[in-house]
A = this chain, B = another copy of it.
Amino acid sequence: MSELLKGNAVVGQSGGPTAVINQSLVGVIEAVRDAPMIRRLLGARHGVRGIVDEKFVDLKGISRRTLEQLAHTPGAALGSTRDKPDEDYCRRIFEVFAAHDVRYFFYIGGNDSADTARIVRDLARQAGYPLRVFHIPKTIDNDLRVTDHCPGYGSAARFVALAMMGEDRDNASLLGIKISVIMGRNAGWLTAASMLARRYPGDGPHLIYVPEVPFSLGRFVRDVRGVYRRIGRCLVAVSEGIADRSGTPIAVKLALQLGKKVEYDKHGNVQLSGTGVLGDFLAEYIKAKLTPKGGPAPRVRADTYGYLQRSFAGCASPVDRAEARACGQQAVHFAAAGATSGSVIIRRAKGRRYRVRLELAGLGSVARKTRPMPRRYINREGNDITEAFRAYAAPLVGELPQLARLPG
């Protein structure tokens, strides 16, 4: 093996936390202990923000027991950030890296974080500062390119599947129409996981709407009315990111119609989560459209799953936990093998048995752009998810409880 760059390492967490983002952190910590080229491992508090503010925590010497508990703790243990560094910000990062002899940077995050890693790497190259930069994937949205799936997705999808299994039984108990809004800004991966709740004919969700298909309110009303008339109830899963033909999110249109200020984050993304407005509007709209003249209004309810999808304690998917840990470890192993930069990706082997291999992809190939669901996972009518998706998602989510129905 050629001479490896020696120095200290910084690890940071970025973007929306997940149930397993700390598994990746613990994976890095564990692997660094066996990586002789890395002397100290510094944890940056709140991602790049903690680097420029020189807020570091020394990550060696943490007990095995604490590390294992930490791995099972949702949220970003180091703190997260939505900061996206510009050139000035990056210059400050190098000054800090140079001052602390940092030669390895492990950044756990989504596509925005991959882009941050890419910018940091490119500016380091231009500055002639030897730096190894590795992106460790993390997003419940599952919308990173190149990788088969993203750590964090399986656990969030498990939450959605378990929630929908219960919702379906609840809806069957008191009947009526239930609309549940699920996270997913650009892609319907997480919303699609609601289909895993179905086991018997007639089980909900009966309709599933994802951002990949333009959303029409008229079509939505016709779909719901059809199911409701047929079986007296209707369970609907809706992505928060559903948008009209022009690409404008329905949530944004509604917010503007209601005279509300639309909030954007530092990446220029509109705030969709942390509000129930989309669900409430869809419920009101359906109720108005489905109430017969002079007749009683149907029972219509809406819930927005919100941050529980990414943070709920104690129901992470076993496969997701293991893979998130392995991605953290593998980033260090790639560094120890002489790689200079890249994003860890998960490659799934063909065949019926679920097997994966971790590889390294170029940072640029993962950065910025997102990956929608392939059309074959969406039914022709654009209001449901196909059985083909089950084969993709089931291994990521893990075994689900077997619920029973009364005969008759």
Contact = CB atoms under 8 A, between A and B. Distances in A.
Interface of A: 13, 16-17, 19, 43, 46, 57-59, 62, 66, 69-70, 72-82, 162-163, 165-175, 178, 260, 263, 273-277, 279-280, 283-284, 297, 300-308, 310-315, 400-408
A136 B113 CA distance: 53
B273 A276 contact: no
27 contacts: A13-B173, A17-B169, A17-B170, A43-B406, A58-B408, A59-B406, A66-B404, A70-B405, A73-B403, A73-B404, A75-B168, A76-B173, A162-B312, A166-B308, A178-B274, A178-B307, A263-B297, A273-B301, A274-B301, A276-B276, A276-B280, A303-B308, A313-B400, A313-B403, A314-B400, A314-B401, A315-B315
Those 7 A-B pairs whose CB atoms lie nearest each other, nearest first: A276-B276, A75-B169, A274-B301, A166-B311, A303-B306, A69-B404, A76-B173
Contacts of A57: 406-408
Contact of A169 (B62, B166, B175, B311): B311
A238 to B, nearest CB: 13
Number of copies: 2
Given A57-B406, A169-B75, A170-B75, A277 B274 contact: no
A223 B308 CA distance: 24
Contacts of A274: 178, 283, 300-303
Given A72-B403, A167-B308, A173 B17 contact: yes
A202 to B, nearest CB: 14
Contact of A307 (B167, B276, B297): B167
A273 B284 CA distance: 14
Contact of A406 (B78, B82, B277, B406): B78
Nearest to A306: B303
A241 to B, nearest CB: 17
A401 B169 contact: no
B73 A169 contact: yes
B170 A310 contact: yes
